[in-house]
């Protein structure tokens, strides 16, 4: 059994991780730490886990925690996982960070968009961007995983086949994403109160969202050349889910059938990407509670564009499920261990 | 592996059953039948199961179906499971009916409230009301299980300890239940359209709901004497969940602590009833996706009343999860096999 | 034009009042004060009012404010309206308080349930409980109005006809109320975040809610004798609305038709109570955005009980709409002035 | 008082129209017709209007109806308003059609996208596309108004200033729209059931939605040259509202401030378009219940694109409110008569 510690266990992503690891056949939850609830049983913070999980939230003692476990998951605001990375490397353990600290190959990008100094630059060479569909082999050998952001997961999986085949004019990419509210976390604020979000849709951070450079970094790597794109996130009245609608100009004529075939081939052996058959389009409810990313691609011959839509559960494939998928890859487990549920409907 | 057939697989309760049985470690899904979707792959009807479940919906051929399986589940409108019962008995198999046809000990009650003739009266003696917390021993030996209604499950589990100990004046019982919309099924109607239900709460069938005699039958059995009570169902804007708030006059002075102790003892060994500790009250979200029934009991010394609240997921403990719990009991499996998830939050 | 000042204008009830007064044909908004947003244009706090309302939020200067206006509305947490009452009386103006400070005839009740000292006891004799259906004549002459709580409005209007006619056994009254989230206000807290409330129903403050003594005070006054009752509030996933379901034992045999006739007569001349015709039951959506209270009464001959349901918009008839109705009565305006909209559907 | 008849009064758009006209200071509701509810009081179909509206639904007798009124509103599926147009012209009255029959200047476009024959081609010359912001002067003299679709209203108002000033590369236009469920009407279908829509977002009709040619027609007219664009509609879990997010390449460098100024000027005198000030972005809740269209424009210098978002209430500015705005223009009333409410929040 792999021994697991979770730092930042009481946010929504952290608690999802606690649940998944708890039920994982090959992993064992050893330590949970939180800033706000130290000393409380975890089920007091998340009553749905009463009688399922007995662990008590602890205050973080970093060296002691790393010593007790094989792998550390961090689900923290950006900037807080960098010291954890250093300690994990010192003790020869593994880190899977659900935040942004280890996602960027170029610390300048991180510093520019996040407006903090990167204090663990020397670790970036040993880190891998934890998107299994692109980096499975590297993940197997990595010590630090920068687990992808929720929006980037949906966008990169949606566009990678087209970008890899260089079928798109790279200047024409637009990503319009719609997210549920759990992505905003559990800290109280007026903007995420029920009455403010319910019956409401709005865009936010237009042109400025920090997931933009992350998407660009990965699609550029796939493309082999720098790509600049537009990304607009929206807050929508759901607990979970991201739907991304993506647009680009095709640089040759292709119909929907040919495009779907391309996607089928690209994701043929992937356990968690479902290229939908004709007549079906992604919807967030079809992936709620599952680690799947659903994708459909449509050619629009009128405009010469392709429209791709993808759907994920932002807390699972967009955060904790993908983190566990990465752990499974690192330890050579069945990649679906602990994350094989189809979710819940309705 | 127990071989399973499901008749009426494409309603919400039926599809939940399909999902649970598919993932069950000791059961195997052999046949799915539906009235409306015969010939279609099941995932076309429920796209979230794409790549998880390959079975195709079939038209019902009752004798052939019963022959292929060990246990039949029926998730049908009332009146349609009676012929299935006869066939199952003829072939020496097992039936677990999620409808109302086999819930009543006295067919007169059934005929009076459901306004149809009971055509399988002779089978009622071999049937057991499938509430494990009350009838576990009988369920082990039963051929036909009348799986409890969703509202009755929440109400009976909420009140049984008080009724069993005869702490209540039986004339004072009131059950006020709030249900999510999935209880109304997947057939289109104006009343269950998104725009009609969203941002809306209403009572319905006041004094007339068919779950009333079912609750009365079981609480009377526990009490050892006929009980008449008031039951009011409400439709609320949620997909899943029932919260029941129950009121009765105590016939002696007891404080909340003593009442909680009584509940703790009554449900001590139950795997799926969680008597909540002080400071916690049931909420539907804490049982969404799980087979648990959460219960809390509060004494109100001002009025001499006790107030009990209970929460279930109407599609799981209120329908398909409980049906599988009954199957587990019949076959001597771990009672939580296939239904051990804590669900999902948020 | 009556000149109006609103103290506490940026909560949900306060902002509803701002909107109503702004559109009122006989009233003019002079001053808005808030604790948190002084100096900001009101539309920055409530963007839906951009280009509709130009006023800027001010810091409270109580004597100056009272001097500028004819009537003051206070939408404040309990305890904060008492000094306003004193100043209003000193300057010979009117106060309509949407909080609890002026609702109780007996300050002991207030102090016991709210756990603060009542520092304006001498004003209680000049105050009137602002439920027009019971106290219209007194309201006309009052200087201070204690505007009813949201739950009490729905409960008292639902039960008053039965209590007035002494048709109920007063020991058997139970009120089970379901409220939307706006009743909890706009201050951020984990419990009212979208993700915590959405897809969730729960009871709270069982046996302890502060609206209990308010309901008892008024129904006891109608009955002419002290009534003790059970009241349970529930938080439900809606922005607006309260549905109350009320139970009591009839002390004589009456059918639904006779009861409805009684209600029709009782509320015959009321502009805002709609006794629903046969076949219709109250639903919160039917009163969203309106000042109406919908009521239906049902006899249940099986149990000898009566079940009443009532629905209001908690921010309108349950708060700001009723406050304006009281203002209209005081100044002899058409009672529906400014609050005559049927609301919005769906 | 202008006498009004409404054909198709019991859909969501029709009922909104009934409510608005009923409260309109210069119009009087004379006849309501519906296909399904003839003979029923209108409040039985929409209980929120009980005691507000007394009219009874009638079966359609077209010539008789047109004779009784000055202006007819049709809220019907496409194809059904064409005969009404002919009769209205014959009797010299006015028609405002909320459907698609009179929106196209070129009947070929209509026939191609709607797949039915246009049987009133000769009337198209006398019809005006009812977007007051573009065609106010023509509307004043029109006999038939083709009231704009909901998506087109949000898209055209969002893009018109940029297109008029020729600041965009016309080949780069993308419109990504998110709609509440009421746009799908009140006819029961699985796809609009509460449980299917709640907690779900999905795109539909990608590249094929019938509002595409309508948007293209109008933007091309503004541009003076044919524009082809991509339009993707999404179904989102809200009752009301459309948010459109629009993208295009700027053909010169402009910052957000300069763009906002352009919009301010373009809409300076418009009563119902609110160009939002810096720091505010459109959200559907801010226009729920109002006839406003909120717009914000953002330059993204990184990509050379402009991103515009606009929000409307699909049943008001996107349907019935705009229809009444057109009536007000035709009859020379205050353009905001009957539609001057800021709506409701939260």
Q: What is the 3-state secondary structure (H, E, C) of chain D?
A: CEEEEEECCCCHHHHHHHHHHHHCCCEEEEEEECCCCCCCEHHHHCHHHCCCCCCECECCCHHHHHHHCCEEEECCCCCCCHHHHHHHHHCCCEEEECCCCCCCCCHHHHHHHHCCCCCCHHHHHHEEECCHHHHHHHHHHCCEEECCCHHHHHHHHHHHHHHHCCCECHHHCEEEEEECHHHHCCCCCHHHEHHHHCCCCEECCCCCCCHHHHHHHHHHHHHCCCCCCEEEEEECCCCCCEEEEEEEEECCCCCHHHHHHHHHHHCCCCCCEEECCCCCCCEHHHHCCCCCEEEEEEEECCCCEEEEEEEECCCHHHHHHHHHHHHHHHHCCCCCCCCCCCCCCC
In this complex, is the C-beta atom of C13 within 8 Å of any C-beta atom belonging to chain A?
no
pLDDT value of position B264: 98
Q: Using an 8 Å CB-CB cutoff, list chain D residues near A236.
A: 178, 201, 236-237
Within 10 angstroms of residue B121's Cβ, the number of other Cβ atoms is: 14
Q: Are A278 and A295 in contact (CB under 8 A)?
A: no
Q: Give the model's pLDDT for residue C259.
A: 98
- Taking an 8 Å cut-off on Cβ atoms, the answer to whether B346 and A239 are in contact is yes
Residues of B in Cβ contact (< 8 Å) with A23: 341
Q: Is the dihedral of CA B110, B116, B121, B123 positive or negative?
A: negative
Asked if A237's CB is within 8 angstroms of D285's CB, the reply is no
Q: Quick check: A4 and A29 in contact, CB under 8 A?
A: yes
By C-alpha distance, the chain A residue nearest B48 is: A286
User: What is the Cα–Cα distance from A257 to A277, expressed in whole angstroms?
Assistant: 10
Among the partner-chain residues B172, B232, B299, the one whose CB lies closest to the CB of C245 is: B232
* Torsion on CA atoms D91, D92, D98, D103, rounded to nearest 10: 120
pLDDT at res. A178: 98
Question: Which pLDDT value is given to residue B17?
Answer: 98
**On the CB side of A21, how many CA atoms lie within 13 Å of its CA?**
29
CA D27 to chain centre: 20
Return mean pLDDT, chain B: 98
Residue B232 φ/ψ, nearest 5 degrees: -125, 115
* Cβ contact A195–D346 (<8 Å): yes
CB A94 within 8 A of CB A330: yes
Q: What is the mean pLDDT of residues D209-228?
A: 98
pLDDT of residue B289: 98
C partners (3+ CB pairs within 8 A) are: A, B, D
Q: Which residues of D touch B193 (CB under 8 A)?
A: 181, 186, 188, 192-194
**Is A188 touching B (CB cutoff 8 A)?**
no
pLDDT at D111 (0 to 100): 98
Helix (H, G, I), strand (E, B) or coil at C113: helix
CB D41 within 8 A of CB D55: yes
- Return phi, psi of residue D74, to 5°: -115, 130
Put simply, the answer to whether D194 touches B12 (Cβ < 8 Å) is no
CA distance D214 to chain B (A): 27
**Taking residues C57-79, what's their average pLDDT?**
98
Chain D nearest CA to B184, separation (Å):
10
- Cα–Cα distance measured from residue B247 to residue B168, given in angstroms and rounded to the nearest whole number: 10
Please tell me the predicted confidence (pLDDT) of residue B333. Answer: 98
Cβ atoms C20, D243 nearer than 8 A: no
Confidence tier at D336 by pLDDT (50, 70, 90): very high
Q: Do C346 and B195 touch (CB under 8 A)?
A: yes
Q: Is the ipTM of this complex over 0.95?
A: yes
Question: Between A176, A237, A299, which is nearest D245 by CB?
Answer: A176
**CA–CA dist C8, C6 (Å, integer):** 6
Rounded Cα distance between C101 and C94, Å, is 15
Task: Select from A238, A302, A309 the Cβ nearest to the Cβ of D237.
Answer: A238
Contact B50 A182 (CB under 8 A): no
In 3D space, the residue among C326, C343, C335 whose CA is nearest the CA of residue C140 turns out to be C326
Task: Indicate which residues of B carry an active-site annotation.
Answer: 150
d(CA A278, CA A280): 6
Query: Between chains, do B198 and D237 touch, taking CB under 8 Å as contact?
Result: yes
Query: Judged by CB atoms within 8 Å, which residues 294-333 of A form the interface with D?
Result: 298-300, 302-303, 305, 307, 309, 311
Nearest residue of chain A to residue C187 (CA atoms) = A190
Using the Cβ of A344 and the Cβ atoms of chain D, whether some distance falls under 8 Å is answered with no
| Calpha distance C14→C33 (Å, rounded) | 10
Contact C201, B238 (CB under 8 A): yes
Model pLDDT, residue D214:
98
Residue A156: predicted pLDDT: 98
Record: contact B342-A19, CB cut-off 8 A: yes
Mean pLDDT of chain A: 98
Distance of residue D85 Cα from the nearest chain A Cα, in angstroms:
32
Closest residue, chain B, to D187 (C-alpha):
B190
Partner-chain contact A195 C199, CB within 8 Å: no
Sort out which chain C residues have CB atoms less than 8 A from B307's CB and list them.
Answer: 203, 206-207, 230, 232
Is residue A159 classed as helix, strand or coil in its secondary structure?
A: helix
Report how many Cβ contacts below 8 Å link chain A to chain C: 58
Alpha-carbon gap: D327 to the closest alpha carbon of chain C (Å): 21
A237 neighbourhood in chain C, CB within 8 Å: 194, 198
DSSP C316: I
CA–CA separation, D262 and C102 (whole Å): 53
SS3 C30: strand
- Quickly state the pLDDT bin for C276 (edges 50, 70, 90): very high
What is chain A's Cα-based Rg? 20
Left (φ > 0), alpha (ψ -120 to 50) or beta: where does D33 sit?
beta
A302 contacts on D by Cβ (under 8 Å): 207, 228
Q: Quick check: C198 and A195 CB within 8 A?
A: no
| Confidence at B218, pLDDT banded by 50, 70, 90 | very high
Q: Is A308 left (phi over 0), alpha (psi -120 to 50) or beta?
A: beta
Say which of B186, B188, B195 has its CB closest to residue D239.
B195
Q: Do B342 and A285 touch (CB under 8 A)?
A: no
The sheet that has D174-179: what strands, in order across it?
D202-203, D230-235, D174-179, D242-249, D305-312, D293-300, D273-275
pLDDT in tens, B312-338: 999 999 999 999 999 999 999 999 999
Question: What chain A residue is nearest to B316 in terms of C-alpha separation?
Answer: A344
Using only C-alpha atoms, what is the Rg of chain C? Answer: 20
Closest by alpha carbon to D216, among D205, D230, D235, D203? D230
Residue D162, chain B, CB below 8 Å: the answer is no
Residues D29 and D21: beta-carbon distance below 8 Å: yes
In this prediction, residue D322 carries a pLDDT of: 98
Site from D11, D18, D21, D47 to mutate, C interface, most C CB atoms within 10 angstroms: D47
Closest CA to B18 of A312, A336, A344: A344
How many other CB atoms are found less than 10 A from the CB of residue D318? 30
Q: Which residue is it, tokens 């030996």?
A: B141
Domains of chain D as residue ranges with CATH: 2-148+317-330 (3.40.50.720), 151-313 (3.30.360.10)
C5: Cβ–Cβ under 8 A, 6 or more apart, which residues?
C30, C31, C32, C33, C65, C66, C68, C69, C71, C72, C73
Q: How near does any CA of chain A get to the CA of D308, in Å?
A: 9
Structure-token pair, residue B216: 């009365």
Q: CB of D285 within 8 Å of any CB in chain B?
A: no
Q: Enumerate the residues of chain C whose CB falls inside 8 A of the CB of residue D287.
A: 48
Nearest Cα of chain D lies from the Cα of C144 at a distance, in angstroms, of: 28
Q: How confident is the model at residue A27 (pLDDT cuts 50, 70, 90)?
A: very high
**Contact assignment for C182 to D240 by CB distance below 8 Å:** no
Using one digit for the tens of pLDDT, what is the confidence trace for D40-88?
999 999 999 999 999 999 999 999 999 999 999 999 999 999 999 999 9
Q: What's the rounded Cα separation, in Å, for the pair B169 and A342?
A: 46
Is the CB of residue D46 less than 8 Å away from at least one CB of chain C?
Answer: yes
Residue A123 binned pLDDT confidence (cut-offs 50, 70, 90) = very high
Using an 8 Å CB-CB cutoff, list chain A residues near D230: 247, 300, 303, 305, 307
Catalytic residue among C150, C195, C292, C293: C150
Q: Which residues of A touch C197 (CB under 8 A)?
A: 194
Cα dist. C225→C158, C216, C228, D100 in Å? 18, 10, 10, 64
Residue C134, classed as helix, strand or coil, is helix
Q: What pLDDT shows up at residue C145?
A: 98
Asked whether the bond before C346 is cis by omega within 30 degrees of 0, the reply is yes
Q: How many CB pairs under 8 A join A and D?
A: 149
A239, A240, A342: residue with CB nearest B48: A342
Check: CB of residue B243 under 8 Å from CB of residue B307: no
Note every long-range contact of A328-337, with CB atoms under 8 Å and residues 24 or more positions apart, other chains counting.
A329/A132, A329/A136, A329/A139, A329/A140, A330/A71, A330/A94, A330/A139, A330/A140, A330/A142, A330/A145, A331/A2, A331/A26, A332/A140, A333/A26, A335/A132, A335/A271, A335/A272, A336/A271, A336/A272, A336/A291, A337/A24, A337/A25, A337/A26
Mean local confidence (pLDDT), C140-165: 98
Mean pLDDT on D138-164: 98
Beta-carbon separation of A200 and D238 below 8 A: yes
């Amino acid at each position: 059994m792999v021994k697991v510690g979770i730092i930042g266990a009481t946010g929504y992503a952290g608690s999802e991780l606690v649940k998944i690891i708890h039920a994982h056949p090959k992993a064992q939850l050893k330590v949970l730490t939180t800033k706000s609830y130290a000393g409380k049983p975890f089920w007091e913070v998340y009553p749905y886990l009463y009688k399922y999980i007995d662990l008590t939230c602890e205050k973080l003692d970093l060296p002691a925690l790393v010593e007790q476990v094989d792998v550390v998951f961090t689900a923290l605001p950006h900037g807080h996982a960098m010291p954890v990375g250093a300690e994990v490397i010192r003790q020869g353990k593994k880190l899977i960070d659900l935040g942004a600290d280890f996602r960027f190959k170029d610390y300048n990008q991180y510093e520019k968009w996040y407006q903090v100094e990167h204090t663990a630059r020397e670790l970036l060479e040993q880190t891998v961007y934890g998107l299994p569909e692109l980096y499975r082999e590297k993940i197997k050998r990595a010590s630090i995983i920068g687990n992808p952001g929720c929006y980037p997961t949906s966008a990169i999986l949606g566009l990678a086949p087209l970008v890899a085949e260089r079928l798109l004019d790279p200047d024409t990419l637009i990503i319009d994403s719609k997210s549920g509210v759990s992505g905003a976390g559990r800290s109280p604020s007026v903007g995420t109160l029920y009455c403010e979000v319910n019956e409401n849709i709005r865009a936010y951070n237009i042109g400025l969202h920090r997931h933009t450079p992350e998407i660009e970094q990965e699609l550029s790597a796939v493309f082999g050349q720098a790509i600049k794109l537009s990304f607009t996130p929206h807050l929508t009245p759901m607990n979970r889910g991201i739907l991304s609608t993506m647009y680009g100009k095709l640089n040759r004529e292709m119909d929907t059938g040919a495009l779907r075939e391309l996607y089928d081939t690209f994701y043929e052996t992937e356990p968690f990407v479902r290229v939908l058959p004709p007549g079906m389009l992604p919807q967030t409810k079809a992936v709620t509670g599952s680690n799947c990313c659903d994708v459909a691609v449509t050619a629009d011959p009128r405009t010469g564009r392709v429209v791709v839509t993808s759907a994920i559960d932002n807390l699972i494939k967009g955060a904790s499920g993908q983190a566990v998928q990465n752990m499974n890859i690192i330890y050579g487990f069945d990649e679906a261990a602990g994350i094989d549920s189809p979710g819940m409907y309705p």
